[in-house]
């Protein structure tokens, strides 16, 4: 089953000829989730052959233009294409009125419902789930209310050991009960713990999106052992003063978060256009956390299944 992230935009405030502003698409079991929607997102979706009509949920981190300006055009395009499916948008409270005023002004007789879900940027809470994925918020520290998102595969039903089905001649109803967590009681009244019958074949995969934020120890604790972390690195550490002033992180700080949280892989983006040599971000981060890559528009990162055994 697919669990992958495609980078649509990796620049910070100013787009460049090679980098569009922030936007990622997460594919979980062929369901697409859009995270941030910077200017030109719909162009990138077409360029990288991602079906726009399969995006029903958009997660916005904050109301700065390089993270949201693309959503107005995307919604307009959906309307021109005659979309009927509801579109769910998640984001801080300050963007709700802005979104609907723009829809009202630019979109005539919209053909679908846009449902806005206000998220609290200061709390950790589950905001969405289905049978494949669970989404939780990650409080960030920026100049305006900002929130990151953690996506985890939904827990799968437990597997039952086939040899024990035969050994105890289990009925279908007994198998179902054991898979749902019940212990097994033999005809003689012996209680056999559920853990002896069941096992998890694969560990749930995870991806976290953290942009824009100052360094945060609280964030470290929320990211423990995730598989793939996207963390903004707008500046190099030589410009730490500027990073603090603007509410951003350096490549060194992002790598420190990854190291302390014991993540599987760190990917860096949201680079300031002031830098011409982006390899400096990679070198700075890899000196602390070797499992680091810098992202490019159109790049895809796949999180592979890991056995629990």
Q: Which residues are catalytic?
A: 66
- Distance CA(298)–CA(49), nearest Å, equals 10
- Residues 95, 60: contact at Cβ < 8 Å? yes
- Dihedral sign for Cα 209, 223, 5, 215, please: positive
Q: Give SS3 for 43.
A: helix
Q: Are 301 and 268 in contact (CB under 8 A)?
A: no
Q: Are 264 and 227 in contact (CB under 8 A)?
A: yes
Specify whether the CB–CB gap between 13 and 271 falls below 8 A. no
Phi then psi for 78, rounded to 5 degrees? -55, -45
| CA-to-CA dists, residue 289 to 179, 224, 231, 281, angstroms | 39, 15, 13, 12
Distance of CA 257 to the CA centre of its chain: 17
């Amino acid at each position: 089953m697919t669990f992958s992230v495609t980078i649509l935009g990796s620049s910070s405030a100013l787009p460049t000829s090679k980098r569009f502003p922030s936007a990622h698409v997460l594919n979980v079991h062929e369901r697409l989730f859009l995270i941030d929607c910077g200017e030109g997102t719909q162009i990138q979706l077409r360029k990288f052959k991602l079906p726009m009509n399969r995006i029903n949920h958009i997660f916005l981190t904050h109301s700065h233009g390089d993270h949201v300006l693309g959503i107005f055009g995307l919604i307009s395009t959906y309307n021109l294409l005659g979309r009927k499916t509801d579109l769910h948008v998640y984001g801080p409270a300050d963007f709700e009125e802005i979104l609907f005023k723009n829809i009202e002004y630019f979109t005539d007789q919209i053909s679908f419902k846009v449902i806005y879900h206000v998220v609290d940027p200061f709390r950790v809470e589950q905001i969405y789930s289905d049978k494949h994925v669970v989404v939780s918020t990650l409080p960030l520290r920026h100049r305006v209310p900002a929130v990151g998102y953690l996506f985890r595969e939904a827990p799968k039903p437990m597997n039952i050991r086939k040899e024990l089905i035969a050994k105890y001649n289990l009925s279908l109803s007994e198998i179902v009960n054991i898979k749902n967590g019940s212990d097994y009681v033999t005809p003689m009244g012996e209680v056999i713990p559920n853990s002896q019958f069941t096992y998890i074949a694969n560990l749930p995969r995870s991806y976290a999106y953290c942009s824009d934020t100052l360094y945060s120890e609280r964030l470290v604790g929320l990211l423990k052992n995730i598989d793939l972390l996207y963390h903004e690195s707008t500046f190099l550490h030589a410009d730490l003063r500027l990073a603090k002033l603007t509410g951003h992180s350096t490549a060194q700080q992002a790598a420190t978060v990854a190291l302390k949280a014991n993540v599987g892989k760190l990917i860096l983006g949201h680079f300031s256009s002031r830098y011409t040599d982006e390899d400096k971000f990679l070198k700075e981060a890899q000196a602390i956390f070797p499992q680091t890559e810098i992202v490019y528009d159109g790049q895809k990162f796949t999180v592979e299944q890991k056995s629990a055994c």
